[in-house]
Structure 1
Amino acid sequence: MDPRREYELLQTRRHFFGRTATGIGGAALASLLSPQAFAAPSSSPEKAGILGEPHFAPKAKRVVYLFMSGAPSQMDLFDYKPEMDEWFDKDLPDSIRQGQRLTTMTSGQKRFPIAPSKFKFAQHGQSGAWVSELMPHTASIADDLCFVKSVHTEAINHDPAITYIQTGDQRPGRPSMGAWLSYGLGTMNRDLPAFVVLHSTWTGRRSAQALYERLWGTGFLPSRHAGVSLRSQGDPVLFLSNPPGVDQSARRQMLDALATLNERTYEQIGDPEINTRIAQYEMAYRMQSSVPELMDFSDESKDTLEMYGPEVSTPGTFSANCLLARRLLERNVRFVQIFIRGWDQHGSLPKDITNQCRDVDQGQAALVKDLKQRGLLEDTLVIWGGEFGRTIYCQGGLTRENYGRDHHPRCFTMWMAGGGIKPGITYGKTDEFSYNVVENPVHIHDLNATILHNLGIDHKRLTYRFQGRDFRLTDVHGNIVHDILA
């Protein structure tokens, strides 16, 4: 290439501003390496988000999202339908199904026999919320929870459905909710990521839908806003420890030299991802001290450990991750997401869902109790749910004791607690077959708009221009569900 032409191509608008006397590029870099020097006197975070401050006073500062990948069966857990006992093995009426879309797994069935839940239900707390016998610990916190029984979506298969509820679109490529919050609000702890992801082991059916990094990725947002996955074995973050023969001083010298080289490259081409790379190196350096302390449960009281249950001492279990989530939240990590797979129960549902509930019940209840007794629940939003629900009709063979259920996007149950959500209420209603929403429908865009609202964000105003269009988490949809706000 002609050297003169190559030089002209390097002179991008970003490059021009990066090299002007104002030193925008250098200042951005310096603020990453020495945030205290560039922070406002009253500011403690490493870096504020693009909003600078929330649009209005937030009710929640932090979020912990307990995601039940695979879709829990709402009528076996929270959506009690006792009248279905009389419908055992009778076909779901066409007037209820209304020709709605089915998966290929049941679209060829000649019959759609109704499978009543085999599990007992009881009302709990002053709120009288119906909870299955499968979740006795969760039942004990019923008055702290808001059950939303009318959530619905258009996606009917796992991957597009999980992508949809996490990113606002069924197609890959959009930023995840945690990435949007990191981008919009920034971080409250300079020594830990703003967005942390925890993956849990489970004891139900061994095969399960895969979870892809895009579910906690940034899409078109700067990559520094991606969720950081903490591992339960070995280094919590890969390559966090110094390699053999490299001490902390040598590591510091290496990072300083890398920063100098990257700064020179930034001055040449102005790629913002270079600053992201520098910031991530610096974060990893600080995490060498913060993460080992975070992962050490030895300072937890005996009562706290017993509250989370016997599995809390086994890294990677849901209970251990719930306690780890509380430790992250009290260190002001903005968004913590706990995934647990295995809820995709097309057959042998009673056996598998019993195991799944045993995995999560005590830990999730303990997390809410723990946050509450530490004064953190008031400004921490807890979210529980999956990507869609399950059908009242059986997939495959049916007996009173054994059945399976197919995917069902038309209605499912989620619950929320803390962070500006009204406690002790049940919102929304389904028909007697738990098949259609008949009262107060809540689309997943409405759910996400409400979550952002509680964090002080107008969901219509947190946007990012990409390929000539302003994108947002809720796309062009979403209404705040004011009735569930405290």
Structure 2
Amino acid sequence: MQSSSFRSSNCPGALTVHSRRGFLKQTSAGFGWLALAGLLGEQNRLHASTSPVQPHHTPRVKNVIFCFMDGGPSHVDTFDPKPALKAHEGKPIGAGAVSKRSQSSAGRVWLGSPWKFQQRGESGLWVSDLFPRLANVADELCVIRSMVGELPLHGQQNLLLHTGRIIGQAPSMGAWVSYGLGTENRNLPAYVVLNNDWVPNGGLENFGSSFLPATHQATQLRAKGVPVDNIRPSDSFSLQKRKLELLAAQDRVFADRASAASPIESAIANYETAFRMQTLIPEVSDISQEPAHIQREYGVDSTDEHQHYYATQALRARRLVEAGVRFVEITCPSFDSNNSPWDQHGLLKKNHEKNARITEQSVAALITDLKRRGMLDETLVVWAGEMGRTPHTPKVTPTCGRDHHVNGYSLFLAGGGFKPGITFGETDEFGNAVVERPLSIHDIHATILHQLGLDHEALTFRHGGRDHRLTDVHGHVIQEILS
């Protein structure tokens, strides 16, 4: 809403410039202002508040930890065994398997997995030898084998995974959770990204709040060095408080004159949160307080710097949810300057093994640690990339790899009321396409929100003339995978 000029009736002939907000406030006995305030007030109350908002129904989950495997781990090399691939390795896939969405051509050949699969735990869940540590927690995993994406492009699929839209321009899942529930700890943000010093394809929109107020975008903590810049105060507590009060007073004067106050009020709320974070963020981020055996369990002692940093972030994730952060995301380190670390078009065996070595011990330790502390029932761990990888390749060689694949891929969820030790959905005998119970990321989003006590159809925000939601016009809760 743009500010406009109005002639003042109090002083005939004089021209006074008011914002529309000021005009409504001073005319019609203030009734116009009251109407506007009514429209803005409820939004601002929800936007700027850091206290929990009432959920739609009784929640099963309090916190989410999202282990983002950027680049697309291969489903047929991790959780979806396909013996037919090995039996037909090197043979042309044929016209019947061609799919434009997986960038296939009839001349490509099938590629078997370089790793063996075994049934693990009491559940008998199939897990590849690529993941020996995750195999030890197989009985906690709910594996979805029937994910279907939209476009075999990293940026678009990353945005779809995070925001529910391939074009982005919408809040991330973490921002929606923050908006719907707030934080359990007013001294910490509701949404934290534990980043590993790079930005994924799709950009910072993956972690943004878009049209939701800025209070709901991710706070990022880096792995190396100081987690957050300028978090240690240079002024005394009393001087900081006086500066903050002055800044807030100036912003409120500006907000009163502005045509839209909510961004300014969000900024004030962010200043206040940052002020309160000064003590708690350094404390929560300091994993040296953890016993040595816990640090070893996560892999903090690894001589591989990438594994060390990932383990550090995974252990911080547990500490953050313990402290009351609603939604924590962990990104993967990049070991070859590729901001899609699991993207192995070549050197599949070497680099998938490198990614597994960097991440899987820490993810398995996180699940084990949460369960040991009695937190796994109320904490959901999500392990997912934005896509899978083709079960075929241009030519079988010692250095060959797999390309982007969205016709069928896998992810898993652990804890949070999901059935443990099960698989859901199926791909065909080659892992080329989903043949049973296809799911979209909107279905996963809807089910995660449901476990948090949020109805994905009711969690909406009015923007651009219509109500928006994380799942857009899609998604359903997958009751079959919930215990």
Decide whether the 8 Å contact of 1:163 with 1:170 is kept in 2: yes
2:206 maps to which residue? 215
Verify: 1:241 aligned to 2:232, yes or no: yes
2:101 maps to which residue? 101
CA distance in 2, matches of 1:188, 1:140: 32
CA distance in 2, matches of 1:266, 1:354: 54
CA distance in 2, matches of 1:208, 1:134: 26
Secondary structure (helix, strand or coil) at the match of 2:101 reads: coil
2:336 maps to which residue? none
- Equivalent positions of 1:51-450 (< 5 A) are 52-97=53-98, 99-103=99-103, 111-200=107-196, 210=201, 212-243=203-234, 246-269=235-258, 270-311=260-301, 317-340=309-332, 341-395=340-394, 397-399=395-397, 401-450=398-447
Give the superposition deviation at 1:28.
Answer: 10
Give the superposition deviation at 1:179.
Answer: 0.4
Give the superposition deviation at 1:233.
Answer: 3.4
CA distance in 1, matches of 2:137, 2:350: 25
CA distance in 2, matches of 1:281, 1:14: 28
Q: Percent identity?
A: 40
Decide whether the 8 Å contact of 2:179 with 2:216 is kept in 1: yes
1:141-161 Cα offsets, whole Å, 9 max, x none, are 000110111111112101011
Counterpart of 2:294, as a letter, is T
CA distance in 1, matches of 2:101, 2:167: 19
Counterpart of 1:359, as a letter, is I
Decide whether the 8 Å contact of 2:388 with 2:406 is kept in 1: yes
Give the superposition deviation at 1:210.
Answer: 3.7
Give the superposition deviation at 1:72.
Answer: 0.3
CA distance in 2, matches of 1:329, 1:322: 11
Counterpart of 1:242, as a letter, is P
1:154-182 Cα offsets, whole Å, 9 max, x none, are 12101011101110111121010000011
Change (3 A) 1:393 1:26: closer
Decide whether the 8 Å contact of 2:94 with 2:107 is kept in 1: no
Q: Give the structure-1-normalised TM-score.
A: 0.88
Extract unaligned runs of 5+ from structure 1: 36-45, 202-206
Question: 32, 39, 47: which is aligned to 2:51?
Answer: 47
Decide whether the 8 Å contact of 2:459 with 2:469 is kept in 1: yes
Give the superposition deviation at 1:211.
Answer: 5.5
CA distance in 2, matches of 1:30, 1:257: 22
Secondary structure (helix, strand or coil) at the match of 1:230 reads: strand
Give the superposition deviation at 1:11.
Answer: 2.8
Change (3 A) 1:139 1:255: same
- Equivalent positions of 1:455-466 (< 5 A) are 455-466=452-463
CA distance in 2, matches of 1:76, 1:432: 14
RMSD over aligned Cα, in angstroms?
2.9
CA distance in 1, matches of 2:171, 2:41: 28
CA distance in 2, matches of 1:47, 1:168: 26
CA distance in 2, matches of 1:117, 1:312: 27
1:375-427 Cα offsets, whole Å, 9 max, x none, are 110011110010111101114x422x432111000111100011110111111
Change (3 A) 1:210 1:439: closer
Verify: 1:477 aligned to 2:469, yes or no: no
CA distance in 1, matches of 2:35, 2:153: 54
CA distance in 2, matches of 1:57, 1:411: 33
Counterpart of 2:261, as a letter, is D
CA distance in 1, matches of 2:246, 2:199: 44
- Number of aligned residue pairs: give it: 458
Change (3 A) 1:394 1:268: same
Secondary structure (helix, strand or coil) at the match of 1:403 reads: coil
Decide whether the 8 Å contact of 1:311 with 1:317 is kept in 2: no
1:25-77 Cα offsets, whole Å, 9 max, x none, are 999999999x8xxxxxxxxxx423xxx31111111011000010100011111
Change (3 A) 1:61 1:17: farther
1:183-205 Cα offsets, whole Å, 9 max, x none, are 1111111111100001237xxxx
CA distance in 2, matches of 1:131, 1:30: 47
CA distance in 2, matches of 1:53, 1:319: 34
Give the superposition deviation at 1:132.
Answer: 1.1
Give the superposition deviation at 1:88.
Answer: 1.2
Secondary structure (helix, strand or coil) at the match of 1:453 reads: helix
CA distance in 2, matches of 1:323, 1:5: 59
1:9 maps to which residue? 20
Change (3 A) 1:6 1:233: farther
Change (3 A) 1:215 1:403: same
Q: Give the structure-2-normalised TM-score.
A: 0.88
CA distance in 1, matches of 2:442, 2:44: 36
CA distance in 1, matches of 2:449, 2:210: 19
CA distance in 2, matches of 1:90, 1:31: 58
Change (3 A) 1:11 1:218: same
Secondary structure (helix, strand or coil) at the match of 1:70 reads: coil
Decide whether the 8 Å contact of 2:89 with 2:112 is kept in 1: yes
2:9 maps to which residue? none
